[in-house]
């Protein structure tokens, strides 16, 4: 630290209460006073400490923000799932009612109409949440959309084209939520078939 000295000073103090007796002079000698000023290194250290404190506070605030966002996201997923389940329960109720009315007086056509209505209700729910079926039959096999379970010998489709759909797949927006399970076309092995036919004769 740099120091500056203040010069000694003598002050005369007059005791005004004793004017009648005469002027009383009191000499007061001031002690040396040191005025200190911080050095550049000390100023820099203080600034660094302040910045470190600020950084720690901001880091803590950001961590709290992340935790809060994760909680909100979890709550959003939870409540969204509850909403879908509630709407599915309505469809399940309709199935129960349809099955409950099945008796000897119910013909197949009216029963089928009731099932079609419930299926349309389910399709409407899927459409509401932007869930669409993946197109398969006659489309080129795409591992991003399809899961091949078997190969199908056929002349109806070219090799590598989806020939049969075993289980329907779905997309929600652009995201595949279930791959279609399919059988993929391959050329008919005529030589093999001819040999099998000849062996049967």
Q: What are phi and psi of 37, to 5 degrees?
A: -125, 135
Asked if residue 195 belongs to a domain, the reply is yes
pLDDT digits over 68-117, tens only? 998 888 888 778 778 888 888 999 998 888 877 666 566 778 888 888 99
Q: What does the alpha-carbon distance between residue 193 and residue 107 come to, in Å, rounded to a whole number?
A: 46
Task: Please give the pLDDT value at position 200.
Answer: 53
- The CATH number linked to 148 is 2.30.22.10
Asked if residue 11 belongs to a domain, the reply is yes
Asked if residue 28 belongs to a domain, the reply is yes
pLDDT digits over 154-180, tens only? 999 999 999 999 999 999 999 999 999
Phi/psi-derived region of residue 197, left when phi > 0, alpha when psi is between -120 and 50, beta in every other case: alpha
Task: Please give the pLDDT value at position 130.
Answer: 92
Single pTM value for the model: 0.54
Task: Please give the pLDDT value at position 27.
Answer: 53
Antiparallel, parallel or unpaired: β 34-37 and 146-153: unpaired
Q: What does the alpha-carbon distance between residue 197 and residue 57 come to, in Å, rounded to a whole number?
A: 83
Q: What does the alpha-carbon distance between residue 58 and residue 60 come to, in Å, rounded to a whole number?
A: 5
Asked if residue 24 belongs to a domain, the reply is yes
Task: Give the DSSP H/E element, type plus range, for residue 187.
Answer: none
Asked if residue 27 belongs to a domain, the reply is yes
**Residue appearing with tokens 């002349």:** 155
Task: Please give the pLDDT value at position 31.
Answer: 53
**Number of structural domains the chain divides into:** 2
For the chain, the first-to-last Cα distance in angstroms comes to 114
Asked if residue 15 belongs to a domain, the reply is yes
Domain containing residue 157? 133-200
Contact of 124 with 87, CB cutoff 8 Å: no
Task: Please give the pLDDT value at position 40.
Answer: 84
Asked if residue 147 belongs to a domain, the reply is yes
Asked if residue 162 belongs to a domain, the reply is yes
Tell me the three state secondary structure of residue 166: strand
pLDDT digits over 2-56, tens only? 444 444 444 444 444 454 455 545 554 555 556 678 788 888 888 999 999 999 9
**In sequence order, what are the residues at sequence separation of 6 or more whose Cβ sits closer than 8 angstroms to the Cβ of residue 86?**
none
- Of 143 and 73, which is predicted with more confidence? 143
């Amino acid at each position: 630290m740099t120091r500056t000295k203040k010069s000694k000073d003598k002050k005369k103090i007059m005791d005004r209460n004793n004017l009648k007796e005469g002027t009383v002079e009191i000499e007061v000698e001031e002690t040396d006073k040191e005025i200190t000023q911080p050095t550049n290194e000390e100023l820099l250290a203080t600034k660094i400490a302040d910045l470190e404190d600020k950084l720690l506070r901001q880091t803590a605030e950001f961590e709290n923000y992340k935790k809060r966002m994760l909680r909100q996201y979890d709550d959003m997923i939870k409540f969204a799932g509850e909403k879908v389940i509630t709407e599915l329960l309505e469809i399940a109720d309709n199935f129960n009612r349809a099955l409950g009315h099945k008796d000897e007086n119910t013909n197949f056509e009216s029963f089928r109409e009731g099932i079609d209505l419930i299926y349309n209700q389910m399709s409407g729910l899927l459409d509401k949440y932007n869930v669409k079926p993946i197109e398969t039959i006659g489309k080129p096999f795409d591992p991003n959309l399809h899961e091949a379970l078997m190969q199908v010998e056929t002349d109806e489709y070219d090799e590598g084209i989806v020939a049969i759909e075993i289980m329907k797949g779905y997309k929600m927006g652009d995201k595949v939520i279930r791959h279609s399970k399919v059988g993929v076309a391959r050329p008919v092995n005529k030589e093999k078939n001819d040999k099998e036919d000849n062996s049967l004769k």
